[in-house]
């Protein structure tokens, strides 16, 4: 039976994670879940972000389900570098998976896009690029200060995530992969990405391919999101593009993500894209859909494609039945989703 | 009298630049314009991108008006690095100015945003960051390949563009500046930007300020573009955000830009954000509005605020009178704009 580590975290994290666990328990009874106390609250209390002993314990699980960590009083970078990115790098979670669908029933912001028309997934590289932490500063705090950030890209790291994107495309209906980069300016990294993409594409004659500069892709995600199927891109571009994709499909309140080590050598981690939302925490009004969709990605990654599909379908029923603007109760949504998923 | 260098360029470049010149001549008769043949066509013919002698000649002008350069057969980077970026760096054009307005009469893609509600300007840094060309590759073409791109940021470069953004904000109604960066991941450069921003903000107690991570800003540009007044950000983030801003205000077909050296030590350059659009080139159907709005930025930079305002107002009349989807003729639009601007 699957062993899951649960990091409920801060703010609305515990509220939405409780619903995700409820739904997992409904479709796959007997999952063994262990809670870990990490995030802003622990940092405030103990000064600890991610003790080595906890990292070792987490490594012994099949997957991690995370709610949200952070609050506005934690300095920028502490939890990001010390916890979220640390886990992505330590567990070699090189596929950062972010699906975006415009669900029937969800009012998207775009006038010309109809529900059901957008169904894309961004495969964002998770262990390289500008997220490598390579950078520094000289003469800090003086008029002579210089600060650098370095994007590191390896053929190893680039090729494996592109392979994953093509593998996902072959399992989808449209079978199309769009590479997004900025080859006309970032010529060294861009050339590496473009050549690796071409090589993997040559092995998949059944998959259609295209290339777009990141600025053009950002624009087309707004004007024609329907055109995308699978998008593969680097760590920072993926960070930006997935928030645009979330925005055009109803907001980050519905966006799920997985930080995946496809080989299963390390646990993968699944979390809603939204944050801890301290402004609405504790009131039982947070939408748990993004957490529940993240749980579906978790189930799929652990080989329970059937259970995953039932959870995803349950979300479809829930969203189709919503009245735009109507209030929701976190627990009630969780109960309904568990019900739909097992009906 | 102002001396302008004109680089009409490729594709629709010459067609739209002809209209921009027509409008300039109408509002400011007697401008001295010299044409320079640069772009894909010249490169194909001679292998030259930007000869040193031409760079020296360009330096002797008050401003440069550029149409568009490039065609799909030029390898990525050749004209970007060799011409556009070369000019931005050689002429120290550190303010890359990109206004976005949702003009009455223009159908924007967002259901909830009404014409007139969006009026923002992105002040993008133009001479640093990932555009510095600092990067390289080892073991190219082998499985061991590594490629790097380095973002270089100096207090000098960051502070001066932030100062420009605040100066622009004080001349606008809402007086608000949003800093966009990714301080939680790019901690070195992020910290430099954040500290420089705070220092300049302290000198402008009358200007409201906010900070957003680039992923959040990309999202809010789609869901709430009305919230922005002046946005200041680094070179690459600015590249992406300005295309989103263009998309939500009717497309890059209407987007103008200026690469500005505010001190006037070197010529500033003005160009539409759109490309050379080879698919519609030569047919007289390209919309010259972005080129004409770029000409208005040029006039403003050269101290002809009044002429600039008349051109901008003319665009407002033109766009308000359009029927969405109706065909247009480049020349006729230019004639109308020249007429409105001098009426
Ligand atoms: C919190 C931050 C480190 C993170 C990222 O930049 O990857 C977040 O924005 C995300 O997209 O998961
Ligand atoms: C053509 C390219 C070098 C350029 C950039 O990236 O700055 C373009 O996208 C722009 O925004 O002006």
A185-198 confidence digits (pLDDT tens):
999 999 999 999 99
In the reported structure, the alpha carbon of residue B239 is separated from the centroid of ligand 2 by a whole-number distance in angstroms of: 6
Do residue B188 and residue A131 have CB atoms under 8 angstroms apart?
A: no
Is B206 a known active-site residue?
no
Query: Each residue of B48-77: b (16+ CB within 10 Å) or e?
Result: ebbeeebeeebeebbbbbbbbbbbeebebb
A247-263 confidence digits (pLDDT tens):
999 988 899 999 999 99
Q: What is the mean pLDDT of residues A15-22?
A: 98
Task: Give the model's pLDDT for residue A1.
Answer: 81
Do residue B151 and residue A155 have CB atoms under 8 angstroms apart?
A: no
> In this structure, which ligand is nearest to the CA of B96?
2
Give the span between the Cα atoms of A289 and A272, in whole angstroms.
9
Task: Using pLDDT thresholds of 50, 70 and 90, give the confidence band for residue A325.
Answer: confident
Using a 6 Å cutoff on CB, does residue B216 contact ligand 1?
A: no
Task: Using pLDDT thresholds of 50, 70 and 90, give the confidence band for residue A324.
Answer: confident
The helix or strand, by DSSP H or E, that contains position A100, with its residue range, turns out to be: strand A95-101
Q: Is B219 on the interface with A (CB under 8 A)?
A: yes
| Among A107, A110, A144, beta carbon nearest to B109 | A110
Task: Give the model's pLDDT for residue B76.
Answer: 85
Q: Is A109 on the interface with B (CB under 8 A)?
A: yes
Strand ranges across the sheet with B119-125: B32-35, B3-9, B63-68, B268-272, B256-260, B95-101, B119-125, B230-233, B176-181, B208-213
Which residues of chain A make contact with B80, given a CB cutoff of 8 A? Answer: 184-185
Task: Give the model's pLDDT for residue B95.
Answer: 98
Do residues A269 and A63 lie in contact, with contact meaning Cβ atoms separated by under 8 Å? yes
CA of A162 vs chain B CAs: smallest distance (Å): 14
Mutate to test the pocket of ligand 1, among A13, A49, A151, A239 (most ligand atoms within 8 A of CB): A239
Rg value, chain B, Cα: 20
Q: Is A216 on the interface with B (CB under 8 A)?
A: yes
Task: Give the model's pLDDT for residue A76.
Answer: 85
Do residue A251 and residue B144 have CB atoms under 8 angstroms apart?
A: no
For residue A278, pLDDT over 90 is answered with yes
Task: Give the model's pLDDT for residue B117.
Answer: 94
Ligand 2 lining (C-beta closer than 6 Å): A 184-185, 215; B 80, 84-85, 239
Task: Give the model's pLDDT for residue A332.
Answer: 98
When the pLDDT of each residue in chain A is averaged and rounded to a whole number, the result is 97
The helix or strand, by DSSP H or E, that contains position A85, with its residue range, turns out to be: helix A85-90
Task: Give the model's pLDDT for residue B324.
Answer: 83
Task: Give the model's pLDDT for residue B113.
Answer: 93
When the pLDDT of each residue in chain B is averaged and rounded to a whole number, the result is 97
Give the span between the Cα atoms of B267 and B289, in whole angstroms.
23
Is B94 a known active-site residue?
no
Is B131 a known active-site residue?
yes
Which residue ranges form the domains of chain B, and what is each CATH number? 1-94+261-343 (3.40.718.10), 100-257 (3.40.718.10)
Count other C-beta atoms under 10 Å from residue A206's C-beta.
8
Is B114 a known active-site residue?
no
Mutate to test the pocket of ligand 2, among A181, A182, A184, A217 (most ligand atoms within 8 A of CB): A184
Do residue A77 and residue B218 have CB atoms under 8 angstroms apart?
A: no
């Amino acid at each position: 039976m699957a062993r899951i580590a649960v990091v409920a975290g801060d703010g609305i994290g515990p509220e939405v994670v409780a619903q995700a666990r409820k739904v997992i328990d409904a479709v796959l009874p007997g999952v063994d879940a262990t809670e870990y106390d990490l995030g802003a609250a622990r940092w405030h209390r103990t000064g600890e972000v991610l003790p080595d002993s906890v990292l070792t314990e987490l490594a012994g699980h099949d997957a991690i389900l995370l709610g949200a960590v952070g609050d506005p009083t934690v300095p920028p970078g502490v939890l990001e570098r010390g916890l979220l990115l640390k886990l992505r790098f330590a567990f070699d979670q090189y596929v950062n998976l972010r699906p975006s669908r415009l669900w029937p029933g969800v009012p998207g912001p775009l006038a010309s896009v109809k529900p059901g028309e957008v169904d894309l997934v961004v495969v964002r590289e998770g262990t390289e690029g500008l997220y490598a932490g390579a950078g520094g500063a000289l003469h800090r705090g003086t008029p002579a200060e210089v600060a650098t950030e370095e994007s590191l890209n390896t053929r190893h790291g680039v090729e494996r995530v592109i392979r994953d994107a093509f593998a996902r495309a072959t399992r989808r209906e449209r079978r199309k992969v769009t590479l997004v980069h900025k080859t006309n300016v970032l010529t060294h990294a861009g050339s590496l990405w473009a050549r690796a993409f071409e090589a993997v594409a040559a092995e998949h004659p059944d998959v259609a391919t295209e290339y777009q500069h990141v600025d053009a892709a950002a624009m087309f995600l707004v004007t024609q999101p329907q055109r995308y199927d699978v998008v593969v891109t680097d760590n920072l571009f993926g960070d930006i593009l997935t928030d645009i994709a979330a925005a055009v499909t109803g907001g980050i309140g519905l966006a799920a993500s997985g930080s995946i080590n496809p080989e299963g050598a390390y646990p993968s981690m699944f979390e809603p894209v939204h944050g801890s939302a301290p402004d609405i925490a504790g009131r039982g009004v947070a939408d748990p859909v993004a957490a529940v969709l993240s749980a579906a990605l978790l189930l799929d990654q652990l080989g329970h494609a059937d259970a995953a599909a039932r959870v995803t379908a349950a979300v479809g029923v829930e969203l189709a039945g919503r009245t735009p603007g109507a209030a929701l109760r976190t627990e009630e949504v969780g109960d309904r989703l568990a019900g739909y998923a097992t009906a």
